């Protein structure tokens, strides 16, 4: 028999080599990690700052170690340097003395005579071409107030009420007297999902929920009454201040069945008259946001409104002098209404005051379309867009030529429905014009919606009488409607920014080809776009696959399903930028470097295609999505031959935390390993998500929870706790101690169900972390890698590796 020493002599070098190999793999994974590639793509898009006549614009480009500002002739695309950037910095530095300029100069205006730099405490104006600079100081403004557009007065909150203060420093005047704790003016709702950082902060902050009219005469206030909502306890077990006794934070967070406990009121203030009155919205309606457009004559404000669970949506007109309300447009929706197919994107609604019209977004024909309404009567004039495609965003409106420019995708005609193109259509009818024929995802910067933001002020804005010029108009569409600036890319093609005609789409000039040298140097490789069929055997489903770097014929690789699955966003990138820095989940390219095939699929229930496709998730949430993932991965295994279906894992964060846990419980023989982070593992212990989910049904017409433990019938099938006994594989649950988005209590309630089912599990508890730790925590990211490496790859994670994020990555967990 051979000695133990002899066996060790044979095995230890092999172990050491394996460890070295895994350390190298982790190093490669770190280099292509989303957090470490943030900002690595230079000049991915061009943001034009247009001259008023639309004949030229300027933009800033990243020139590596320096910045450049270019002026473009919009008729020819010819570019010239606006000035010598190094000389401008030197001249501006001389003008401000000992103060320090930002790394990138905040240039706010360029014209033929001067350059304007907006700083937090002043304006630097440099005359061209000699760059003679002068500084105009801005008045010192209190950080606890929001200022009127003319800078002459401000509003701040004190003792739950609003106060008006003049720039001259006189005594403030109380605007309200009826504010109380948890029904205070200017206070954020605890349902903001950031209540704990707000409670913890001692820094002065301006009131929220307020908007100034552009003329400074009126102020709108949206006040939330949360007194009937019970406090939700959060423990700070490792206090950030270094003390030893845990702290308790108790924001008021409603749970499912408690949404009726949250009330709100809208108030309009006449600042000059020092009067205010409640805005009486129709019963059951509320606005969000309270205003997105002010009329040019200063008499009216327009807001977007909805009823509970978005069962009806509308356009509201508020008469500022009286507070009277008119529902200009109202539309009942059978499932859930919205103002954009992607609810995190800006509303696709525009007010055209000169012609008394409104552009309105609706999915009434099964696709996201634009409609034209008469603003005075509320009468539908015509449907503007048609066909089996969904409008993504309104890029701009050319009122002179009576055209609207928009992006759209989603066609189910054999082409990838997630390619996005730019179109135009006439407001008076006529055919739609395709402006961007390239097979790609086209991105065009939206112009600011209406003039709602005119009521807000920001650091660096001018004070009365200052010498600074107003910022140039931004947005892809030129002010005269003749030109458009857009960028486009595909998975394997970096972004290209072009200037093209907004009339016929003709490319005038290529402005920038993105510099991706840092991405290439990191070793990042483009993933592969794939098409499969859904579990119904009929519907085409699209996805994106990341393959390991050392693929060998005849060898099978473990598979990881990277999932989100929420009904409000797509998950599988179709363009270069999102593939490099994915939204959620992260680490897809990194896990491929560790030896996994990583698959992301946009199954039924996700947006961007028809409303029927999106509605699949309304009551069943993850069920159709997961069925499509399992069916799709099986089809890809047959196609590529390299998928090891005996080693399939799944991970996700937030709604992805729910779907990944659901996956290993609903398909225990398919998914063998799961990492579920920050998931709402039951919904009865979660805050209300009415709108993208139904109103809770407690029977007998009740929509409010009748007792502390009640589970509404239409949410019971979404509860993962009864499925705990199905667990067969390895499951790691992860949650942040201060996650107000996915409440820690829900994870622990599921842990309790696993214990009662006598199922083993792994748990990662992250002190003081909020919801965003999947983007910001190197520790979580490395441990997630380790879990798959150990339990799915069958290897040993390197003991001497410590993942670090680069300086561009966000550092906080919120």
If you compute the radius of gyration of the chain from its CA atoms, what whole number of angstroms results?
28
Where do the structural domains in the chain lie, given as residue ranges?
50-138, 352-362+373-459+474-490+492-525, 533-682+719-793
Average pLDDT over residues 662-682: 98
Rounded CA separation 797/785 (Å): 8
First-last CA distance in the chain: 60
Mean pLDDT of 290-315: 94
Q: Which long-range contacts (CB under 8 A, 24 or more apart) does 178-184 make?
A: 179/223, 180/227, 181/227, 182/225, 182/226, 182/227, 182/229, 182/252, 183/223, 183/224, 183/225, 183/226, 183/227, 184/157, 184/160, 184/223
Using alpha carbons, list the distances in angstroms from residue 250 to 233, 236, 447, 765, 813: 5, 11, 40, 19, 19
Q: What CATH number was assigned to the domain covering residues 533-682+719-793? A: 3.40.50.1820
User: Is there a contact between 318 and 268 (Cβ–Cβ < 8 Å)?
Assistant: yes
Interval 220-229 mean pLDDT: 96
Please tell me whether the peptide bond between 595 and the residue prior to it is cis, using omega within 30 degrees of 0. no
Lowest mean pLDDT among 117-121, 206-210, 507-511, 801-805: 117-121
pLDDT at position 206: 95
Helix H, strand E, coil C: the string for 551-572 is CCCCCCEEEEEECCCCCCCCCC
Whole-number Å distance between alpha carbons of 387 and 421: 14
- Residue 155 to residue 211: CA distance in whole angstroms: 10
Please tell me if the domain spanning 352-362+373-459+474-490+492-525 has the same topology as the one spanning 533-682+719-793.
no
Output the pLDDT for position 14: 53
Q: Which of 51-60, 135-144, 731-740 has the lowest mean pLDDT?
A: 135-144
CA–CA dist 480, 447 (Å, integer)? 13
pLDDT single digits (tens) 404-429: 999 999 876 678 999 999 999 999 98
d(CA 364, CA 370): 10
Would the pLDDT of 452 be above 70?
Answer: no
Non-local CB neighbours of 450 within 8 Å, separated by 6+ positions: 292, 293, 294, 302, 350, 351
Q: Could you give the maximum distance between any two Cα atoms of the chain, in Å?
A: 101
**Residue in this structure with the two tokens 């680069």, named with its chain if needed:** 806
What pLDDT score was predicted for residue 471?
A: 53
Parallel, antiparallel, or unpaired: how do β-strands 67-73 and 79-81 relate?
antiparallel
**Does pLDDT of 10 surpass 80?**
no
pLDDT at 311 over 90: yes
- C-alpha span between 316 and 320 (Å, rounded): 12
Interval 298-316 mean pLDDT? 95
Half-sphere exposure of 176 (CA within 13 A, CB side): 25
Strand ranges (E), 410-539: 421-426, 433-434, 441-443, 473-474, 483-490, 493-501, 507-513, 528-533
Residue-wise pLDDT tens digits, 537-557:
999 999 999 999 989 999 999
Checking if the pLDDT of 695 tops 90, the result is yes
Q: Which two tokens stand for residue 233?
A: 């306890």
Three-state SS letters, 49-79? EECCCCCEEEEEEECCCCEEEEEEECCCCCE
Give CA separation, 29 vs 20, 520, 591, 595, in Å. 14, 14, 7, 10
272: Cα separation from own chain's centroid:
38
Average confidence (pLDDT) over 116-130: 93
Is the pLDDT reported for residue 1 higher than 60? no
Q: How much is the pLDDT for 99?
A: 86
Q: What is the pLDDT of residue 472?
A: 64
Least confident residue range of 35-44, 103-112, 405-414, 755-764? 405-414
Q: What is the mean pLDDT of residues 748-755?
A: 98
Q: What is the mean pLDDT of residues 246-266?
A: 95
pLDDT at 353: 96
pLDDT at 138: 81
Q: Which residues pair with 488 in a beta bridge?
A: 442, 496
Query: 352-362+373-459+474-490+492-525, superfamily in CATH?
Result: Dipeptidylpeptidase IV, N-terminal domain (2.140.10.30)
97: left (phi over 0), alpha (psi -120 to 50) or beta: left
Q: Is the pTM of this model over 0.85?
A: yes
| CB contact at 8 A, 776 and 764 | no
User: Six-digit token pair at 373?
Assistant: 């309404």
Q: For 335-339, 506-510, 732-736, which range has the lowest pLDDT when averaged over its residues?
A: 335-339
Q: How many CA atoms lie within 13 A of 550 on its CB side?
A: 6
pLDDT over threshold 50, residue 12: no
């Amino acid at each position: 028999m051979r000695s133990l020493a002899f066996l060790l002599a044979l095995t230890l070098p092999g172990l050491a080599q394996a460890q070295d190999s895994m350390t190298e793999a982790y190093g490669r994974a770190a280099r292509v990690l989303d957090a470490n590639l943030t900002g690595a793509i230079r000049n991915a898009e061009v943001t034009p700052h247009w001259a008023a006549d639309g004949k030229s614009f300027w933009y800033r480009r990243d020139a590596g170690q320096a910045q450049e500002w270019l002026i473009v002739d919009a008729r020819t695309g010819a570019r010239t340097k606006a000035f010598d950037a190094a000389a401008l910095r030197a001249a501006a530095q001389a003008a401000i003395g000992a103060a320090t300029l930002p790394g990138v100069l905040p240039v706010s205006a360029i014209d033929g005579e001067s350059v304007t730099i907006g700083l937090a405490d002043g304006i630097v104006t440099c005359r061209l071409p000699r760059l003679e600079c002068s500084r105009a100081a801005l008045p010192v403004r209190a950080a606890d107030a929001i200022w009127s557009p003319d800078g002459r007065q401000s509003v701040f909150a004190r003792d739950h009420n609003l106060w008006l203060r003049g720039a001259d420093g006189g005594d403030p005047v109380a605007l309200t007297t009826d504010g109380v704790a948890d029904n205070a003016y200017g206070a954020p709702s605890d349902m903001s999902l950031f209540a704990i950082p707000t409670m913890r902060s001692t820094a002065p902050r301006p009131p929220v929920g307020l908007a100034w009219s552009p003329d400074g005469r009126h102020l709108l206030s949206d006040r939330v009454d949360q007194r009937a909502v019970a406090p939700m306890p959060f423990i700070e077990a490792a206090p950030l201040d270094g003390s030893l006794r845990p702290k308790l934070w108790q924001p008021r967070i409603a749970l499912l069945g408690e949404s009726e406990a949250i009330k709100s009121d809208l108030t309009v203030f006449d600042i000059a008259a020092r009067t205010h009155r409640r805005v009486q919205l129709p019963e059951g309606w509320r606005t969000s946001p309270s205003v997105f457009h002010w009329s040019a004559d200063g008499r009216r404000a327009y807001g977007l409104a909805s009823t509970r669970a978005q069962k009806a949506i509308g356009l509201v007109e508020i008469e500022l002098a009286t507070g009277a309300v008119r529902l200009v447009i109202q539309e009942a929706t059978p499932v859930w209404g919205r103002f954009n197919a992607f609810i995190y994107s800006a509303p696709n609604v525009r007010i055209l005051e000169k012609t008394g019209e409104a552009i309105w977004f609706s999915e009434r024909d099964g696709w996201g379309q634009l409609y034209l309404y008469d603003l005075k009567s509320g009468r539908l004039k015509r449907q503007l867009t048609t066909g089996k495609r969904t409008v993504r965003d309104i890029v701009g409106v050319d009122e002179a030529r009576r055209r609207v420019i928009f992006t759209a995708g989603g066609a189910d005609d054999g082409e990838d429905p997630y390619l996005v193109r730019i179109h135009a259509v006439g407001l008076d009818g006529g055919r739609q014009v395709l402006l961007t024929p390239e097979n790609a995802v086209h991105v065009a910067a939206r112009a600011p919606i209406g003039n709602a933001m005119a009521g807000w002020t920001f650091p660096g804005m001018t004070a009365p009488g200052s010498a600074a010029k107003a910022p140039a108009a931004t947005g892809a569409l030129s002010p005269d409607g003749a030109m458009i600036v857009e960028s486009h890319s595909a998975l394997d093609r970096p972004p290209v920014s072009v200037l093209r005609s907004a009339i016929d789409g003709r490319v005038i000039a290529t402005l920038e080809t993105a510099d991706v040298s840092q991405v290439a140097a990191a070793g990042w490789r483009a993933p592969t776009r794939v098409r499969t069929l859904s579990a119904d055997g009929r519907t085409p489903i699209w996805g994106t696959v990341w393959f390991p770097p050392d693929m060998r014929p005849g060898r099978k690789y473990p598979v990881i399903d990277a999932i989100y699955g929420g009904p409000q966003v797509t998950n599988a990138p179709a363009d270069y930028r999102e593939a490099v820095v994915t939204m959620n989940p992260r680490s897809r390219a990194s896990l491929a470097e560790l030896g996994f095939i990583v698959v992301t699929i946009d199954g039924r229930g996700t947006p961007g295609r028809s409303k029927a496709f999106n509605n699949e998730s309304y009551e069943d949430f993850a069920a159709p999505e997961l069925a499509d993932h399992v069916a799709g991965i099986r089809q890809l295994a047959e196609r590529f031959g390299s998928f090891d279906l005996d080693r399939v894992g799944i991970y996700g964060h937030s709604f992805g935390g729910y779907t990944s846990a659901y996956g290993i419980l609903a398909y225990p023989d398919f998914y063998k390993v799961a990492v579920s982070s920050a998931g709402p593992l039951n919904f009865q212990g979660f805050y209300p998500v009415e709108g993208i989910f139904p109103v809770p049904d407690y029977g007998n017409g009740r929509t409010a929870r009748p007792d502390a433990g009640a589970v509404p019938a239409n949410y019971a099938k979404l509860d993962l706790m009864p499925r705990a006994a199905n667990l067969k594989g390895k499951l790691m649950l992860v949650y942040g101690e201060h996650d107000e988005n996915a409440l820690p209590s829900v994870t622990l309630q599921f842990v309790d169900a696993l214990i009662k089912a006598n199922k083993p599990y792994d748990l990662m508890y992250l002190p003081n972390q909020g919801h965003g730790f999947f983007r910001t925590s190197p520790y979580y990211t490395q441990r997630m890698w380790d879990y798959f490496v150990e339990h799915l790859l069958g290897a040993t994670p390197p003991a001497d590796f410590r993942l670090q994020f680069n300086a561009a990555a966000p550092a906080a967990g919120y």
